[in-house]
Structure 1
Amino acid sequence: MKKVLPLLLLLLSYCLNAQTEEKSKSFPNENSAYLTFDLTTIVSPFAPRYRLGYIQSINKNWRIGVDLGYGQENIIFNTSNSNSRMDNYSLFEIRSEIYHIFNPSKRLNHYISGELYYIYHEEDFYNTHYHLDARDEQVFFDEAHFIREKIGFNLKYGAMFPFGEKVGMNVYIGIGPRLKNITYKDVVNPSVQNDYDDHDWFSERRTEGSRFGVSTTLGVKFFYRIN
């Protein structure tokens, strides 16, 4: 018994010390605010843009955030492998998001979130084609002005990895419904053909009209805690 008591005291001391270290290593969440920069949208092959965000903690389990994205032909990189010249390219987006943090007292935070977003995108296309909505026809043209509007909702899962007291990475993945509307204006030399290609996997990106569907999202954000 005399030998067991010192061992119990030593074990208790170790547990208390471990809890103190865990608390000191936890990342502060309550009443914190964050600035974010999305590292994936700037290299998007179809719609590159810069996306900046702000996240505000409501309490230790809930946060709200907003993101603004903007792309313009003179400030973005054209990473597409196609012949797109990205003439008159511009894109604007706004996203609002609410987060629920599963483990707010831990250093690495896991969360689920709901995100509502709107995107407006336009640019000029040359020497290509688009599909007519609900018809097995394609319109080939020399030049046309492309306009895409998209509104949707994503259910997301993510994790915030802090690298220090101020900075870290937010990795996320999500899926949700969306409504997309595509129009083509000022079409030069249009030619309608009936040779619809069933194996054109990207045909939906060029189909004129409004379509319901499902969108996925995957990305990495850099964050900086400002308080």
Structure 2
Amino acid sequence: MNLFAMRRGYWLTPAIIYINAAIFLFTVAYTQSIMWFPARALVELGANFGPLTLDGQWWRLLTSVFLHGGLLHIVFNAIVLANIGIFLEPLLGRVSFIIVYLLTGLLASTASLVFNDNVVSVGASGAIFGMYGFFLALLTTNLFKPDFRSMFLKNTLGFVGLNIAIGFFGPIDNAAHIGGLVSGFVLGYVWLPYVRRRAQRQRPGPF
């Protein structure tokens, strides 16, 4: 539970989780369901759906990032976001963290729109994969100490690879996951000079 507690240098990640939880509770009240929500209701609440998004409702690219399809969906995403946020938020700072999170979420939604234009897509997982892609990019550099880099590179690759593989065998929007992952990886290199400067000020640590 410590992952969900706000504290100095780490409050934006829990705040995003609490916002998602509040929207989830609203969706529960709206649909009178909890384990899964009807696609029509999700579309009414702002899901990414090609025929509507492409018809000018571009705000769905963002609102869909804060909607979830059911209880297990939001619980899994909350845990995974907390586990990556606790590393990246102190490293990036609040402003950069929210920019990367929202930008990769938007790009993940765009990828879903391109490859799954008739699918009702919701969830923070595209943005979360973006954060993991960002972390992977940093792990391929000499930013971190070798032992830290080696351990987390293997763990992160394993997590990402497993979830991408699972996405090919279930009702999962892999286009959003891969879109978020790739965009996050690219942004990791774009942000690298800034991250290096912050890391130098934060030493000692895993750097």
With the shorter chain as reference, the TM-score category is under 0.3
TM-score by length of 2: 0.25
Where relative contact order (Cα < 8 A, 6+ residues apart) is larger, the structure is 2
Structure showing greater radius of gyration is 1
Q: Going by fraction, where is helix more abundant, 1 or 2?
A: 2
TM-score by length of 1: 0.24
